[in-house]
């Protein structure tokens, strides 16, 4: 089966002083989704974007907002990110007491639900979530920062989850996030990923390079 490969640039690597313009630039450059990394300085050692910024960015593109929440406790913020314009909300099992409940909550808001596994979190975590999720995200770096190196053994996890998804017969996207560049992108795709998050590799070279960067990441 050939799957379409989607590119979701992480705006963590964009120029934060010109975020609206940057989102329009990646839209015009052909991205599929916009990956928004939300960090709280507690669940991860960095602080980034809140629902107010997501809301302010919403008029700048019609492409889906893929909101990766790295905040704990996460549940009390789900409504705010849905109202701000998230199309997909992805949560870490470690970020709240009841991941199954968090997934149901996201779906009840009319938003697609994703679960994200840290490098040390096993694929087995998905056994009783796979029936409900729309997206599974494999972190190929420890969350918190852009520009880190790809952790090789996550390819094995991607391959294992690809098998689980195919066996489920459900329409679930398999996303990879962290250290994705022109070398690691084809390897992640080969292992079974079909949505690539890329911050550094998308935004390198300034707006004139975004279209080329996105095309190369897609394998074109």
Task: Return the residues of window 56-75 that contact ligand DX5 according to CB under 6 A.
Answer: 68
| From 40, 66, 134, 177, the catalytic residue | 177
> Would you say how long the chain is, in residues?
220
3-state helix, strand, coil in the chain (%, to 5): 40, 20, 40
37 is in an annotated binding site: yes
Task: Give the range of 30-38, 58-66, 74-82, 118-126 binding Zn ion by CB under 5 A.
Answer: 30-38
DSSP 8-class letter at 150: P
Judged by CB under 6 A, the chain residues 87 through 126 that form the site for ligand DX5 are: none
Nearest CA to 197 among 70, 74, 52? 70
Reading the block at residue 199, the tokens are: 């911050």
37 is catalytic: yes
Q: How far is Cα 16 from Cα 74, in angstroms, rounded to an integer? A: 24
- CA atoms 179, 184, 185, 189: torsion sign: negative
* Residue 146, marked binder: yes
Which position among 50, 119, 144, 186 is part of the footprint of ligand DX5 (CB under 6 A)? 144
Nearer to ligand DX5, 120 or 169 (CB): 120
Least CB distance from residue 88 to Zn ion, whole Å? 12
At 126, give phi and psi (nearest 5°).
Answer: -85, -10
Q: Which residues are annotated as a binding site?
A: 10, 35, 37, 68, 144-147, 177-179, 199-200
Which residues contact ligand DX5 (rule: CB under 6 A)? 10, 12-13, 35, 37, 68, 141, 143-144, 146-148, 177-180, 197-201
């Amino acid at each position: 089966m050939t799957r379409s490969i989607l590119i979701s640039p992480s705006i963590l690597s964009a120029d934060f002083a010109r975020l609206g313009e940057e989102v329009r630039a990646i839209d015009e450059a052909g991205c599929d989704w916009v990956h928004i990394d939300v960090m709280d300085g507690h669940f991860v050692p960095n602080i980034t974007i809140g629902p107010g910024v997501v809301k302010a960015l919403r008029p700048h593109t019609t492409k889906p907002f893929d909101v990766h929440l790295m905040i704990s406790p996460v549940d009390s913020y789900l409504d705010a990110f849905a109202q701000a314009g998230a199309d997909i909300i992805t949560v870490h099992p470690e970020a709240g007491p009841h991941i199954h409940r968090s997934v149901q909550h996201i779906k009840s808001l009319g938003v697609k639900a994703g679960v994200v596994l840290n490098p040390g979190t096993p694929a087995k975590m998905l056994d009783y979530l796979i029936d409900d999720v729309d997206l599974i995200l494999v972190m190929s770096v420890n969350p918190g920062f852009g520009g880190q190196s790809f952790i090789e053994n996550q390819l094995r996890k991607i391959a294992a989850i690809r098998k689980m998804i195919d066996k489920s017969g459900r329409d679930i996207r398999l996303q990879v996030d962290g250290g994705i560049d022109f070398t690691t992108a084809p390897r992640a795709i080969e292992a079974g990923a079909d949505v690539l998050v890329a911050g550094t590799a998308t935004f390198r070279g300034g707006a004139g390079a975004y279209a080329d960067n996105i095309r190369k990441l897609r394998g074109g």
